[in-house]
Amino acid sequence: TQLLEQSPQFLSIQEGENLTVYCNSSSVFSSLQWYRQEPGEGPVLLVTVVTGGEVKKLKRLTFQFGDARKDSSLHITAAQPGDTGLYLCAGVPQKDSNYQLIWGAGTKLIIKP
Amino acid sequence: GAGVSQSPRYKVAKRGQDVALRCDPISGHVSLFWYQQALGQGPEFLTYFQNEAQLDKSGLPSDRFFAERPEGSVSTLKIQRTQQEDSAVYLCASGGTTDTQYFGPGTRLTVL
């Protein structure tokens, strides 16, 4: 079974703090994607990482793909209330079909003003 | 619009009723996916289309679930004889030539 485990499941912090969300697996992924989902909406893609060790930045968000392509992290600097939402990681398993995403259960993030 | 649209946004059904959920993908997108999402959880794969061909339906939970995409564009997910455990948000996503999937807003189904 190819699972993506996200941690923490829930995080509530004050505006201005930094945080890191993790996405881990024992399997290798061809690519890994991070999505943010707000209530009543579908997930919105934030970034796709493909290369082991890759780091991508999106304003205050920094995404890293592990060297072995089994894990990823999302770091938010100086969190803002607008960052509140459900953060989901999803990956394309290396040896399986090239279309079906394996999803983590998500990290529910609340940023308090 | 330019994004994926789904209708209805909300559906309340009595147990035993049939429902049909519609997805309008981004124009030109070959791939189309249906997912089921429980509250606070990640999406669970239901089925995948490439154009009009349903290449994978391994995630459909029972034979009460049926999906079609007859002309390779709009897709319909049908649930027959709905049960309370079918209550969830049903997400549709479409994709082009990359792994990226673009999601619609979902249909929240409540079965009473």
What are A62-99's pLDDT values in tens digits? 999 999 999 999 999 999 999 999 999 998 887 666 66
State residue A3's pLDDT score.
Answer: 83
Cis peptide before A93 (omega within 30 of 0): no
As given in the structure block, the two tokens for residue B17 are 């009723």
Whether the CB-CB separation of A78 and A100 falls below 8 Å is answered with no
CB atoms closer than 10 angstroms to residue B27: 8
The minimal CB distance from A41 to the residues B40, B98, B105 is found for B105
The minimal CB distance from B42 to the residues A41, A100, A106 is found for A106
A46 → chain B, closest CA residue: B100
* Range B28-45 average pLDDT: 91
Amino acid at B1: G
Q: Phi and psi of B65, rounded to 5°?
A: -100, 130
Whether the CB-CB separation of A79 and A105 falls below 8 Å is answered with no
B89, B99, B100, B102, best to mutate vs chain A, most A CBs in 10 Å? B99
